[in-house]
Amino acid sequence: MDLSLSTRTVGDRTIVEVGGEIDVYTAPKLREQLVELVNDGSYHLVVDMEGVDFLDSTGLGVLVGGLKRVRAHEGSLRLVCNQERILKIFRITGLTKVFPIHTSVDEAVAATD
């Protein structure tokens, strides 16, 4: 399965809904999307990963890159993920300490810390 991307706005947050596989082939598309959003002034991003079937280190690199970009504008990048196999990758790389990970988009949108 290829990567699918769609965005919508809720208040000052931009939700990026990602589906399919994020790997060495598809990660550049996600990178482009995040860069474009930040360039267009969206600095508070919520990446909804509930539809993601596969994530590798290339995908992690893109998410870290996105976080760096929004932080440069005092923004935020939150993740929504309940899937154990995806969460495991964040855990073994220590990135659970870097990204706020939420169980629902509503929770991520409401978060303000």
Partner 1 sequence: MPTVELLFSAQPEHVRTARLVAAAVARRAGVDEAALDEVRLAVGEACSRAVGLHRNSGVEDPVRVRLTEDEKKFSIEVADEVPGTSSGSNPGGGADEPADDEGEMGLAVISGLVDDFEVIDGDKGGIIRMSWPTVSL
Binding mask 14-53 for partner 1 (x = CB under 8 A): -------x-xxx----------------------------
Is residue 89 a contact residue for partner 1 (CB under 8 A)? yes
Of 6, 93, 103, 104, the residue at the interface with partner 1 (CB under 8 A) is 93
Which CB atom, from 4 or from 58, has the smaller least distance to partner 1? 58
What's the number of CA atoms in the CB half-sphere (13 Å) around residue 108?
Answer: 28
Residue among 35 and 54 whose Cβ is closer to partner 1: 54
Greatest C-alpha distance within the chain = 35
57 binds partner 1 (CB under 8 A): yes
Closer Cβ to partner 1, 65 or 100, answer by number: 65
Select the residue interacting with partner 1 from 45, 60, 70, 108 (CB under 8 A). Answer: 60
